Structure 1
Amino acid sequence: MRKILFHLSLILLFSSCISNKRITYLQNLSDSTAIGLEEFIPFAKVDYKYILQPFDIVQIDFASSDPTLVEGFSFQRPMQQGMVGGGGGQGSDPLYMNGYSIDESGMVEIPRIGKVEIGGLTEEAAKNLVQEKINAYFKDDVYVRLRIAGIRYTTLGEFNRVGVQVIYKNRATIFDALANSGETSLLGKKNKMFLIRQYGEGTKIHQINLNDRALLGSPFYFIQPNDILYIEPMKIRQFGSADNLTASLALFGGVFASVLLIVNLVTGGI
């Protein structure tokens, strides 16, 4: 009886441990081609370009050798307090307050010009369309710059910080997104991260293995605006979060030791 209980306790102990292989990034896994250190890894060729969608926010700036020409295109832009660096709802986002929001019909309303439909276009095509509208309005040269107001994405599941995040870069990798979101928790399934991506005509769910070094050459190495990143928890998550798992296991161990003591006293007295 004692031997059985001893072996059961060992099984429970080892089953509660988390292998380093499950939490280490960029490994050379057996089912993929090995990639050595300092080996050149070309980026995957991706034909897809982000399509502007309803409720996106874009920044549109106008410039001219004659400053009076562009005064009518500028909103009043007071100093913003608490500019958001990473998202999560802290402070206010000046690009949200002063950018151009695309409505549900794909239109933006520009002073003097009126409504322009840029939804469904790439960033470059939208810029060219607004430039055409400006050229038709002015005889003098007025130049347009249009860009997405940062890369906004959402983190769900086993992240240390969940919610809508923002990276103020033109291009960001999946690891930029992880770092900006406070990393994943210890109990997240890094080998099965779901990336939900919006395309021109709908949405697709992709599965990513963060443990695999081959990710560096994957078409999902770079994130896109409006991506949703979701990481499932490991089964051991039912015993508690990464923060209180040690306490939960200690409590379980104490209870289990007490049971062993009681069983030992009962069986020893028989």
Structure 2
Amino acid sequence: MKQLNYFRPLTILFLSLFIFSCASRKNVAYYQDIDQLSNLENTSSYETKLQPDDLLMIVVMAENPEVAAPFNLPSVIMQSSTEFENQQLRINSYLIDNNGFIQFPIIGAIKLGGLTRTEAVAKMNQELSKYIAKPSVNLRILNFKITVQGEVTQPGVHNITSERITLTEALSLSGDLTVYGKRENILIIREKDGKKQAARVDITKADFLNSPYYYLSQNDVVYVEPNKTKVNSSVVGPNTAIVLSAVSLLVTIIALTVR
């Protein structure tokens, strides 16, 4: 009977720790109220806007290739060698300066910063029409990237081959959130018009699908904050093994003593 009296407090203690450590669904599951959300916005026409430091590939085409040739930069061959492969890359690129301009052959300075890709192509065609009949422009962002930090499986910088990526896609590229990530308080840092902006997004609520931060812009930084469990464990973490060993030893001593 004495042995039971000693073990009852320990049993209650361990059960309490287990119960309180269990995570609630509302802190873990995504899109929890999506069934009640009836006003999802149409995002099929979303386009990112060009901004300073974007590196653009612009290729001008025409019915007569010789007419378009003066408007295209000479191809630059970049040699990249590794132990396993040799690659040659051809790049025709233009850097958007701090004022939003690129320097284009013959035409000179053209402001593309602040425009979507569609708007930029239309503007380029308009300028080229002064010199070429029915020009065609192929334009792409070469250095579109986003950074994901914090409580994700694989934090890092991701180069995006397309020009459109959602927050959930970026998190998936990083292996999704760990169990310690705060899903209701994801920080997104964005530069717009030369100024840094910060916003918080709750991906447990389905209305974030209508947020202006659902689609990420190039160079966005996504930070997943650790929850209280992770913060607390960072304090006791190095000593966890010692504590468990001490508790195990104490239980053993009590068991041997009361026999």
TM range (shorter): 0.7 to 0.9
Q: CA deviation at 1:259?
A: 3.3
Of residues 224, 231, 241, the one that matches 2:217 is 224
For the Cα contact (< 8 Å) 1:193–1:232, is it kept in 2? yes
5+ residue gaps, structure 1, are 29-33, 83-91
CA RMSD of aligned residues (A): 3.8
**Partners of 2:92 and 2:151 in 1: CA distance:** 33
Match of 1:56 in 2: 54
Match of 1:35 in 2: 35
Q: Which has the higher strand share?
A: 2
One-letter amino acid matched to 1:117: K
Pair 1:65 & 2:70 matched: no
- Gap change, CA 1:256 and 1:159, over 3 Å in 2: same
**Deviation string for 1:118-145 (max 9, x for gaps)?**
3344434433443344334x25443223
- Gap change, CA 1:25 and 1:68, over 3 Å in 2: same
**Partners of 1:165 and 1:258 in 2: CA distance:** 48
**Partners of 1:165 and 1:16 in 2: CA distance:** 33
One-letter amino acid matched to 1:64: A
Which region of structure 1 is more displaced relative to structure 2, 1-10 or 191-200? Answer: 1-10
One-letter amino acid matched to 1:55: D
Aligned pairs for 1:61-140 within 5 A: 61-72=59-70, 73-76=72-75, 78=77, 98-136=92-130, 138-140=131-133
Match of 1:31 in 2: none
One-letter amino acid matched to 2:252: L
**Partners of 1:161 and 1:141 in 2: CA distance:** 47
Q: CA deviation at 1:158?
A: 1.1
Match of 1:166 in 2: 159
Of residues 139, 161, 186, the one that matches 2:179 is 186
SS at match of 2:170: helix
Structure (1 or 2) with the larger CA radius of gyration: 2
One-letter amino acid matched to 1:52: L
**Partners of 2:160 and 2:51 in 1: CA distance:** 18
TM-score computed with the length of structure 2 as normaliser: 0.73
Q: CA deviation at 1:20?
A: 4.1
For the Cα contact (< 8 Å) 1:167–1:180, is it kept in 2? no
Pair 1:200 & 2:193 matched: yes
**Partners of 1:199 and 1:58 in 2: CA distance:** 18
**Deviation string for 1:34-58 (max 9, x for gaps)?**
616xx8653168x997443221122
- Gap change, CA 1:43 and 1:69, over 3 Å in 2: same
Which region of structure 1 is more displaced relative to structure 2, 56-65 or 197-206? Answer: 197-206
For the Cα contact (< 8 Å) 2:51–2:96, is it kept in 1? yes
Q: Percent identity?
A: 27
